[in-house]
Structure 1
Amino acid sequence: MKKTQAAELFLRLAELNPEPEGELEWKSPYTLLVAVALSAQATDVSVNIATRKLFKVADTPAKMIALGEDGVREHIKSIGLFNTKAKNVILMAQQLIERHGGEVPVDRDALEKLAGVGRKTANVVLNIAFGLPTIAVDTHVFRVANRTGLAPGKTPLEVEAKLARVTPQEFLLHAHHWLILHGRYLCKARTPECWRCPIVDLCRYRDKKLVPPKSRTAESVAQVQ
């Protein structure tokens, strides 16, 4: 999209939700870092259920190391890839203590060098915990950016770069939150709910579904009649 169209898109999303927030629960930059790392290939809901108990006993790198890999694994065993994630959480805690005095660095490169932390995780932490205008591209952002034509790209990094260029400065801080929520609740992977989309006229998706599907009940009644 052109910048003027992108500005209108974000303006509409902002009017509906002026202060969007991530749905992961956290109470410090460290717990946010852990939660985001755990959320890879898992839902925010499942991560929140696990971390509520985990963070009660281990909400700092030192406490996480004291809990140990087996202890972490026991708390997160309901989350996908829990064995690998438990190892990464402990290693990450060790690295934070050894390299950064137990504090979460406000630096993308430093964050990406931690175990289990990729660019998306680093961007989320920088954005939410430290208020920096970074754009985290997850599956929802990637889908919405491509489907709408806002910032099409073949890789998350390409989409991130295009979003950074096309998004007006005043919308950068919350941009990825609006797109995540839009993708999660409206522009869904299988059936985008175009009939109630606030940006449908700006969207370039060719197969727009402008009429909601009939419910099974309605279909059954119609068949009987």
Structure 2
Amino acid sequence: MKPKPKRVPTKEILSTLGFMYPDAHCELDYRNPFELLVATILSAQSTDRQVNIVTKSLFEKHPTPFDIANLTADELAEEIRMLGLFRNKSKNILQTCQILVEKYQGEVPNDRAKLEELPGVGRKTANVVLSNAFGVPALAVDTHVQRVANRLALADSENVLETERQLMRRVPRAEWTDTHHRIIWHGRRVCSARNPKCSSCQLLEFCWYGKNSTK
């Protein structure tokens, strides 16, 4: 496969993504920052659909960090057991809720450093919460964003943090959150890890990966 181009039609790619996915949004169900935080922690190695099924029941029974903090790790694990890594997620969420109660009066902090101090919360989760719950522009790099950004040559890195940095340089700050959602939607609907639909993709003319793989 040919090396990635030095000049990438970023504006055209972003414009086409906007045309393809004008309504792209976070597909996790949530009503407040706390629910989004928990749902995002639960989403690791699980689909949004699975997470939404679990959180619907979980938040009906235990709607606040005060409620979840009163559970045992085993009780919480039972509530989320249909998800991957449910025991580890249970411990992280329980500890996070205890910190929210003891340190933040049950509120989710609107601060990256404070979010990343919470168990189970890394940079990607913090970015998701900041951008969707608090309206802070951010580019969370999950597996879809990592794959699609590199295929489109918007990034050239196997490291997610470096991919985020490269995207932040290419994409206008005001478009970070929308671009994040649009790339995820594209990764889920067209640019899958296996057998991507390159021949029918509206981004093919701009796509370094697609133009090379369809020859």
TM-score, with length taken from structure 2: 0.92
1:3 CA drift (Å): 8.1
Residue 185 of structure 2 corresponds to 181
1:4 CA drift (Å): 7.1
Q: Give the 5 Å matches for 1:67-216.
A: 67-205=71-209, 206-209=211-214
Residue 20 of structure 1 corresponds to 24
Residue 223 of structure 1 corresponds to none
**Per-residue CA distance 1:116-169 (angstroms, 9 max, x = gap):** 101000000001111111000000000011112111212000000000000123
Of the two, which has the highest radius of gyration? 1
- The structure-2 alpha-carbon separation of the partners of 1:86 and 1:209, relative to structure 1 and needing over 3 Å to count, comes to same
**Per-residue CA distance 1:29-78 (angstroms, 9 max, x = gap):** 00100000011111111111111100101121101112332221111001
Task: Note if contact 2:8-2:154 (Cα within 8 Å) is conserved in structure 1.
Answer: no
- The structure-2 alpha-carbon separation of the partners of 1:4 and 1:156, relative to structure 1 and needing over 3 Å to count, comes to closer
For residues 2 and 31 of structure 1, what CA distance do their matches in structure 2 show?
A: 41
For residues 175 and 66 of structure 1, what CA distance do their matches in structure 2 show?
A: 38
Residue 66 of structure 1 corresponds to 70
For residues 132 and 173 of structure 2, what CA distance do their matches in structure 1 show?
A: 17
1:192 CA drift (Å): 1.0
Task: Note if contact 2:33-2:129 (Cα within 8 Å) is conserved in structure 1.
Answer: yes
TM-score, with length taken from structure 1: 0.88
For residues 185 and 54 of structure 2, what CA distance do their matches in structure 1 show?
A: 22
- Identical-pair percentage: 45
For residues 178 and 155 of structure 2, what CA distance do their matches in structure 1 show?
A: 16
Further displaced range: 164-173 or 3-12: 3-12
- Classify the secondary structure of the residue corresponding to 1:11: helix
Please tell me the root mean square deviation across aligned C-alpha atoms, in Å. 1.7
Matched residues, number:
210
Higher relative contact order (CA 8 A, sep 6+): 2
Of 10, 27, 30, which aligns to 2:14? 10
Unaligned 5+ residue runs, structure 2? Answer: none
- The structure-2 alpha-carbon separation of the partners of 1:129 and 1:201, relative to structure 1 and needing over 3 Å to count, comes to same
For residues 12 and 180 of structure 2, what CA distance do their matches in structure 1 show?
A: 16
Task: Note if contact 1:2-1:166 (Cα within 8 Å) is conserved in structure 2.
Answer: no
